[in-house]
Structure 1
Amino acid sequence: MARFLALGDSYTIGEAVAAHERWPAVLARHLRRTGTPLDEPQVVAVTGWTTDELWRGMDVAALAPPYDLVSLQIGVNNQYRGRPADDYRDQFAGLLARAVALAGNRVAHVLVASIPDWGITPFAREQGRDAARIAAELDAYNAIARAATESAGARFVDITGISRAHPALLADDGLHPSAAQYALWAQAIAPAARAALAT
């Protein structure tokens, strides 16, 4: 059975939903049902992690490469904390290189999921945050991630549009996606994951 490593933050760990409702878990079940054998994901992710915190988390995680599929979704907390896009560019590039190494240097086995738009959530409104500014900053972060991913030859999947199209599909905390939204993400990510595993 193919081995799956999922790297990220609250969106990968599935903050506010059950473990089986996280998008990596939903993705693995979907692929198994449709004829692509994929093991349950090993998840290295913590709510609130930034790029540098993910890096340190990977340093101490019990990793056993090579993995057949490695996903990376990171950056929302960099934006939330107001960190410069240039810092994100450099740190994301480093994380992407580590993801490729963990995939046995098979870059086609790495996929990156974009950062969703949390600026449209009730949490953001209650904090008095500027939704347009958040959207613009996240678009800039996602453009950086897409350019680095595609330049390396890995696969980039845009789920930001899903988050904007379904603003009501949220968990009870009014910030993180609900199980229904994660299922939509998994559906969008599945073709890239299937292609990666078929390479």
Structure 2
Amino acid sequence: MKHSVKIASILTMILFFGCSSENNSGGNQPPKQYKYLALGDSYTIGQSVCETCRFPAQLKDSIQKYLNPNDSFLVKIIAQTGWKTYDLKAAIAAENLSNDYDLVTLLIGVNNQYQHKPFSIYEQEFPELVNTAIQKAKGDRKNVIVVSIPDYAFTPFGQGNIAISEEIFEYNEFARNYCQSNNVTFVHITDITRMGLQQPELVASDGLHPSTLAYSKFVERILPQARMKIAD
């Protein structure tokens, strides 16, 4: 009988301390603050869509679903419609940015192509921007995501112009190869935008830029990579 009482007491203590430990691990975690830096042009600032509709904002909302309720996820956007690689470089240099971002995305190059700038400029300045992104991402290339350039040929503005697609492909291939060679994550979203003429809902009201729906499809591809980087 005494033996049975002793076993029961031990089991009670195990259950009590086990539950206490479990409750402490979930309830007393200090809140974390995550920082996200989005670098780019009109495709990052979200030309012709609302502020909460552009892909960095949608990415933030998607990531927050996986965070603890008390955690915060701050977004800093450095992007403007019409920016080329050197415009983005100058804008970053003008900002007093810290080097402690948990996540940095980079999407740049379409205006180099659209404004017929020498491809050699992109060959020089895209790697410089990637290295800047790495610097801002705690010096860790694993915290950086490069997003491919959308193909605006497949919009009412582009009217299926094959020459545009070929040039966009050249830019994206350079970026993809550079990222692959330097162990930087590259997320391909261009094929989504190539459905723009078949699916008009993927194009914003201006007939040129991606719509809110298109950006949500971008986020579906970016999110798994972003979650892994935040978790690290």
TM-score range, shorter chain: over 0.9
Query: What is the aligned-residue identity percentage?
Result: 39
Q: Distance in 2 between matches of 1:142 and 1:38?
A: 33
Residue number among 31, 39, 45 corresponding to 2:73 in the alignment: 39
Q: Please identify the structure whose Cα radius of gyration is greater.
A: 2
1:62-81 correspondence runs (5 A): 62-81=96-115
Q: Distance in 2 between matches of 1:152 and 1:4?
A: 21
Q: Distance in 1 between matches of 2:138 and 2:189?
A: 26
Question: Does 1:190 pair with 2:223?
Answer: yes
Q: Distance in 2 between matches of 1:38 and 1:160?
A: 30
Residue number among 165, 173, 192 corresponding to 1:162 in the alignment: 192
1:102-113 correspondence runs (5 A): 102-113=136-147
Q: Distance in 1 between matches of 2:223 and 2:158?
A: 29
Question: Does 1:181 pair with 2:214?
Answer: yes
- Alpha-carbon deviations, 1:65-109, whole Å to 9, x = none? 210000000000000011222221111000000000001110000
Q: Which amino acid aligns with 2:87?
A: E
Q: Distance in 1 between matches of 2:75 and 2:35?
A: 7
Would you say the 8 A contact 1:3–1:69 is kept in 2? yes
Would you say the 8 A contact 2:78–2:91 is kept in 1? yes
Q: Distance in 1 between matches of 2:107 and 2:98?
A: 20
Structure 1 unmatched runs, 5+: none
Q: Larger RCO: Structure 1 or Structure 2 (Cα < 8 Å, ≥ 6 residues apart)?
A: 1
Question: Does 1:172 pair with 2:205?
Answer: yes
What's the secondary structure of 2:179's corresponding residue? helix
Distance of aligned partners of 1:38 and 1:144 in 2 relative to their CA distance in 1, 3 Å threshold: farther
Distance of aligned partners of 1:38 and 1:79 in 2 relative to their CA distance in 1, 3 Å threshold: farther
Partner of 1:86: 120
> How many pairs are equivalent?
195
1:42-61 correspondence runs (5 A): 42-61=76-95
What's the secondary structure of 1:34's corresponding residue? coil
TM-score, normalising length: structure 2: 0.80
Q: What CA RMSD, in Å, does the superposition of the two structures yield over aligned residues?
A: 1.4
TM-score, normalising length: structure 1: 0.93
Q: Which amino acid aligns with 2:92?
A: M
Partner of 1:142: 172
Distance of aligned partners of 1:24 and 1:38 in 2 relative to their CA distance in 1, 3 Å threshold: farther
Q: Which amino acid aligns with 1:92?
A: F
Partner of 2:34: 2
